[in-house]
Chain A
Amino acid sequence: MEMVDRYLQAVRFWLPNGQQADIIAELSEDIRAQMDERAASLGHPLNKDDVEALLRRRGSPVVVANKYLPQQSLVGPLLFPLYRFVLKIVTLCILVPTALGFLTILVTPAMHEGAARHWASRIGITLGHVWTGWFAAMAVVTLVFAILERTEARTQLLDTWNANKLPPLRHPHMIPRSTSAFEMAVNLCVLLWWATNMPSPLELHIGSWRISFSPAWSWFFWAVLLLTLANVVIASVNLLRPYWTVQRVVVRTVADLAGAAFFCWLLKANTIISIAAPGSSPQKAIADANFINQWLARMFPWAVVVCVIVALGNLWRLVHLRKQSDAKPMRAATV
């Protein structure tokens, strides 16, 4: 019987003070009634193992006590989807700058070779900051939602919505016209600027500055001209027919990859010969050009990362599009 008393004591620990005696008295009576019945069916008094088996079947003291308590949750089922969404956004907001931070750490030793030995400690410190920041952010979000859960704000948050203000229907393959118009305007401006400020493929005029390039630059000059023109054409087509098709994604991917390849090549090609500011000496113009060339070369890893991201984005769009077109065609529902 001592085992039963110990069990009841363990259950009592988890119960609210005001109800402990009442619940334990009833539970105790139930257990003893069950034991009497069991002993009668076995034909002998229960031994330690029998009692242990009987209590085990009832469940752990915490579980038993928990059933008497009101259902409690820090963030309830109504707010939980919103809570999870906010956590994801916050995590993303922390992870993206962290990834950029790691890239900076990876790139900077190339600039200052002496700093290479500090890599491990710098990565460790960054990870520590990220962990602390992420943990604090999660705690703050959880706290805010726990407060919302326990105040009238929850009702207001979930009840005050307007069907008229819901976001418009999204077509998975739609290209927003605003994006196409913006893309076209930017490319036209670049095209115009490129054509008017470069009287020859080897010289760029920016105000009173004169930037001279090596002959290799002419490849870049024509590439930019052609790619910008191609982008204007793609944006115009997208503006008129604002849906992605496999062909259009392939064309866009090729244009993006070509642009990325030329840009990466430019960073490493040392194409700037001199940057002549008004009144500066030829030596200064060459020194400035060398500085810019070196700076551009250091940007190379970043450029590669950006290019890979762009390529992956296009690839994802292509795969998604193929998947959708393999599935049955989607019907647009309009109300």
Chain B
Amino acid sequence: MVNMNPETLENLKLELRRGCLVLAVLVALRSERYGYTLRKELAEHGMEIDEGTLYPLLRRLESQGLLSSEWREHEKRNKRFYRLSSEGKQILKLLLAEWEGIDASIRAVIKEQAHGNGRSLSAGR
């Protein structure tokens, strides 16, 4: 059995999730949310994101024109609400197509590998 370094796995998982987080945030912000509820919603769906990552990411996406935000009073407190801008909606559409393309490619590679292994196993018998 291969001795796996847990740190290596964590780093790889982190790297894999980094790109996905942007997509998850954009998808979640198709409807308006403020930071805290957005983070909780993502966590409920298995996309844990710490506040130190989420807020800078939201600011970056806003500065890129993909999100719009406004300060509003909610439950007697001022909160900043984010939602997808019209440009963000177009970009999200393209990103989702890209995501599905990547997903399909990986699945195809996995399927081919599985068939290849099956063939080599039966050839070995």
Contact = CB atoms under 8 A, between A and B. Distances in A.
A58 B51 CA distance: 8
Main secondary structure of the interface of A (DSSP, over half): helix
B52 A29 contact: no
Given A34-B36, A58-B51, A29 B77 contact: yes
Contact of A30 (B53, B55, B56, B59): B55
Contacts of B35: 26, 29-30
Contacts of B53: 67
B78 interface: yes
A306 interface: no
A65 to B, nearest CB: 10
A154 B13 CA distance: 33
B36 A59 contact: no
A27 B59 CA distance: 12
Contacts of A29: 34-36, 77-80
Interface string A5-45: 00000000000000000010111011011100000000000
Interface of B: 34-36, 51-53, 55-56, 59, 71, 77-80
28 contacts: A23-B59, A25-B71, A25-B78, A25-B80, A26-B55, A26-B80, A27-B55, A29-B34, A29-B36, A29-B78, A29-B80, A30-B35, A30-B36, A30-B51, A30-B55, A32-B77, A33-B36, A34-B36, A34-B51, A58-B51, A59-B52, A63-B52, A67-B52, A67-B53, A67-B55, A67-B56, A68-B56, A68-B59
Interface of A: 23, 25-27, 29-30, 32-34, 58-59, 63-64, 67-68
